[in-house]
Structure 1
């Protein structure tokens, strides 16, 4: 199926849902984390669907894959912030699992997208 926009990509859809969940959880973190962990976590999360969107319109394979590599780095950064949030008791074990599964879904879909782009 041909896509009409980045919003048609399952990887972007899952990444966008992940961002919404991150904002939901970080909104409940202690106020003193507002400019620390909350900001870092939110920025890393937002960069995932943003870079997928930017890469979608790149016509060159190398440009597209470079942006997807940036996304992969942001995914790993968020993976750490999820662990840190759990270890600081900002999220429950259940929410840790929910966020981890979400990021694994995005990663799996992104890997499939990259394979398709690479041909």
Structure 2
């Protein structure tokens, strides 16, 4: 079993999930069951899949959960962009959150590439 606390990718996704919850507090009430719910679920899915992957004994299962996490990061990146274009985020918050999501995706993708070269 792997210790997810030691992964830079986990540190970033944990920070991203917290940031998403903070910035979606100000989303319009009519988005409670729409974009607010969707982006929050995607943001929580990322660290959750990393944690679950780390608990798996096989390298294949670990990689599969990291790939799911990467897909969710990509989803969050789009949803941040959408929220910004809809005017739900101030430009500074949108820029910072998008930057964090992008960095998270790069680090997670790097981890996946390193696992593929080991196989």
Normalising by the residue count of structure 2, what TM-score does the alignment of the two structures yield? 0.91
- In structure 1, the partner of 2:74 is 76
**2:15 aligned partner:** 17
Matches within 5 A, 1:1-119: 5-118=3-116, 119=118
Tell me the C-alpha RMSD between the 2 structures.
Answer: 1.5
- Matched pairs, number: 117
Matched residues in 1 for 2:99 and 2:47: separation?
A: 17
Task: Assess if the C-alpha contact under 8 Å between 2:9 and 2:104 holds in 1.
Answer: yes
Shift of 1:31: 1.0
CA distance in 1, matches of 2:12, 2:60: 24
How many Å separate the matches in 1 of 2:91 and 2:22?
16
Compute the displacement of 1:47 (Å): 0.3
Unmatched runs of 5 consecutive residues or more in structure 2: none
Q: Residue 4 and residue 64 in structure 1: after superposition, are their counterparts in 2 closer, same or farther (change >3 A)?
A: closer
Structure 1 residues 43-67: Cα deviation after superposition (integer angstroms, max 9, x where no partner) = 0000001001111122212111111
Deviates more, 1:38-47 or 1:95-104: 95-104
2:56/2:62 contact within 8 Å kept: yes
Unaligned stretches of 5+ in structure 1? none
Give the whole-Å Cα distance in 2 for the aligned partners of 1:7 and 1:71: 16
Which deviates more, 18-27 or 51-60? Answer: 51-60
